[in-house]
Chains A and B, each alone.
Chain A
Amino acid sequence: GAGVSQSPSNKVTEKGKDVELRCDPISGHTALYWYRQSLGQGLEFLIYFQGNSAPDKSGLPSDRFSAERTGGSVSTLTIQRTQQEDSAVYLCASTQNAGALETQYFGPGTRLLVL
């Protein structure tokens, strides 16, 4: 079946502009994660959605970052007033259920470059 998809695959924007990154999880997967992969910080957790529960936003680096998940499926990560330090690869992952032994399936990522 189809894996996790993300769009766009690449995004170049100017400092100060807003960007939206999209994630389509595997159908039927209840949990969805966003991570950021950057040269200086490695791979770091951003936000987690599970069913209808309140999201865990503890990894968001600033209030310029927000995310939503509509209908328990597609998720959008929004970065407002982008800064150069936001340049990174943004990865989305989903799991069938919530649990420590669940395998997270990752999308190919969106490479964001802020000029």
Chain B
Amino acid sequence: DAGVIQSPRHEVTEMGQEVTLRCKPISGHNSLFWYRQTMMRGLELLIYFNNNVPIDDSGMPEDRFSAKMPNASFSTLKIQPSEPRDSAVYFCASSFSGDWNTGELFFGEGSRLTVL
């Protein structure tokens, strides 16, 4: 069975460039989460969607970050303009909200971003 699919797996870009990360959740899941992981801060929740609607974006660092979920099978996280401090691994995760209390989020393999 296909898990959460993220692309690109790795991206190296220069400061000031636009970065778009993509995620395809597991079919049938109606909750989608974007996390960012760094050594210093660990896994931070950036934003999550239920039924394609953004529920909580309080973790989005600043206006340079935006996320969309145009349909149940696709989401993007965009950084414009990118800065070196945005370098991190960005994880997308999905779950079925009816079973949220099982605690099981299914994570993609992550997108490792390096901003020079």
Report if A and B associate in a common complex: no
Residues of A within 8 A of B (CB): none
